[in-house]
Amino acid sequence: MLCEVLSLEQTITGMAIPMTLFGIGLGLMMGQLVNMTLSAVPADKFSEASGVMNASGMLGFALGTAVIGSFLLGRFYAGVVDGVLRARDETVTVAQRNELVLALEDAAETATEATQQEFMAQLTPAEQQLLEGIFEAAMVNAQQTSLLLLTLFVLLTLAASTLLPKEVQETDDPLDQLESPQEPPSDPSETAIEE
């Protein structure tokens, strides 16, 4: 599993082949997914269904990115706070920990490169190395947890897809029959010629 492969020693070259395979698989799957989803839609409703599917997909991508991104950053900041507390061998209450996480989030949003370098310059080389290790460990942990959350979403979506209709259902709606053109009778004796 990808989340188990992530580690502090992971390199870009080590991720190139798995990510390439993932991209190829995703590309091959998306076309078939669209075809399979729209195959259960009657022909006269195809354009509406396609539009709804595209809009839903865009909304899902946007919300998914926002949710997973927020989750990733939240886990990262919490991991940094926990790592620093462990390194200093301090214990705090849950409320104090949450306040520290929020303070770190606020500080990270407003920090510039200059303020980061100024802060790091105040630390000893051993403290800098310790802090960098804490950052790396927190990021790997946040990535692993985010990948697990994504896996859960995918499995839930897969389970929900079993509820999709398997075939096009014919409608007996009289309004549909009014909209369709009437076929002429096939028996000539049924045709009345007015004189």
Give the confidence band of 55 by pLDDT, cuts at 50, 70, 90: very high
180, part of any domain: no
pTM reported for the whole predicted model: 0.65
- Which of 1, 11, 23 lies closest to 145, judged by CA? 1
- pLDDT at residue 195 is higher than 50: no
101, part of any domain: yes
2, part of any domain: no
The whole-angstrom separation of Cα 38 and Cα 40 is 5
173, part of any domain: no
How many domains does the structure of the chain reveal? 1
Cβ-proximal residues to 168 (8 Å cutoff; 6+ apart), any chain: 39, 40, 41, 42
Looking at every residue in the chain, the average pLDDT score rounds to: 81
1, part of any domain: no
Query: Looking at 16-25, 61-70, 97-106, which range is the least confident one?
Result: 16-25
In three-state secondary structure terms, 141 is helix
State which residues form the domain around 39.
Answer: 16-158
The whole-angstrom separation of Cα 103 and Cα 83 is 15
Quote the pLDDT of residue 28: 87
Q: Which helix (H) or strand (E) holds 170?
A: none
83, part of any domain: yes
